[in-house]
């Protein structure tokens, strides 16, 4: 059954579909991790309109009335399994402050661990070239949302971040031509 989205969530969806390289439709998945009264976490998953042989997906949460963060990622991984990880971060952000440069170690994420990903890093959304039209903050109907790009890190990248800091990690990623999107395939997405 397709989750029902609010008018505000529909405007956020339209905003992202207009500014990203997404195909004009998305599907929605609801997640609920805590047995409390918080609203379920709704994620939109949309295929990117690319010339790539492999399907590339973008996903982002459609914030509930109490949410102030929009977490977005683009991946060549299994969209449902990656979306679960994004939903867990959204759930975490509902009770903890998150910000640019924060890393989160992945636990209980077998698929991501199989792909060699052990942590996530929050960057500005425009760090992904395909999302360069999405600003750091967006305001829709007077409500302001902070946007973050979720990048999946391997163990060496996570270790650099922990031991040498964010600047060293970003320098390392840039020197290697690290694609922020791909973690299943090794080729670089243009």
Report which of 103, 77, 92 is spatially closest to residue 158, judged by C-alpha positions.
103
- Could you give the CA distance from residue 151 to residue 10 in angstroms, rounded to a whole number? 25
- Could you give the CA distance from residue 119 to residue 18 in angstroms, rounded to a whole number? 29
pLDDT of residue 22: 87
Length in residues, the chain: 190
- Could you give the CA distance from residue 58 to residue 73 in angstroms, rounded to a whole number? 6
Mean pLDDT of 85-92: 91
| Rg of the chain (C-alpha set) | 16
> Tell me: the pLDDT tens digits for 55-85?
889 999 999 888 899 999 998 889 999 999 9
pLDDT band at 162 (very low <50, low <70, confident <90, very high): very high
The H or E element that residue 93 is part of is helix 79-93
φ, ψ for residue 135 (rounded to 5)?
Answer: -75, 170
Q: Is residue 190 pLDDT above 60, yes or no?
A: no
Full-prediction pTM beyond 0.85? yes
> Cβ(63)–Cβ(13) under 8 Å?
no
Dihedral class, residue 71 (left if φ above 0, else alpha if ψ from -120 to 50, else beta): beta
Q: Which of 50-54, 73-77, 98-102 has the lowest mean pLDDT?
A: 50-54
> Cβ(16)–Cβ(131) under 8 Å?
no
Residue 120: beta bridge partners?
104, 152
> Tell me: the pLDDT tens digits for 106-119?
888 888 888 889 99
Q: How far is CA 96 from the centre of its chain?
A: 17
> Tell me: the pLDDT tens digits for 131-153?
888 999 999 999 999 999 999 99
pLDDT band at 187 (very low <50, low <70, confident <90, very high): very low
Encoded tokens for 121? 């890093």
Which single residue is written with the structure tokens 């360069």? 132
> Cβ(44)–Cβ(24) under 8 Å?
no
- Could you give the CA distance from residue 161 to residue 158 in angstroms, rounded to a whole number? 5
């Amino acid at each position: 059954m397709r989750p029902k989205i609010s008018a505000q969530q529909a405007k956020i969806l339209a905003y992202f579909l207009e500014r990203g390289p997404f195909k004009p439709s998305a599907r929605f998945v609801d997640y609920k991790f805590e047995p409390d009264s918080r609203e379920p976490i709704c994620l939109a998953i949309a295929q990117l309109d690319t010339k790539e042989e492999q399907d590339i997906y973008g996903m982002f949460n459609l914030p509930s009335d109490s949410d102030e963060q929009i977490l977005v990622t683009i991946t060549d991984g299994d969209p449902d399994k990656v979306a679960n990880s994004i939903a867990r971060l959204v759930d975490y952000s509902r009770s903890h402050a998150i910000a640019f440069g924060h890393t989160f170690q992945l636990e209980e994420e077998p698929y991501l661990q199989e792909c060699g990903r052990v942590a996530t890093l929050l960057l500005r959304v425009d760090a992904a070239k395909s999302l360069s039209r999405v600003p750091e903050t967006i305001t829709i109907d007077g409500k302001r949302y902070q946007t973050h790009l979720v990048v999946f890190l391997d163990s060496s990248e996570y270790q650099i971040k922990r031991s040498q800091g964010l600047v060293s990690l970003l320098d390392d990623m840039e020197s290697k031509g690290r694609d922020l999107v791909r973690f299943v395939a090794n080729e670089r997405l243009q």
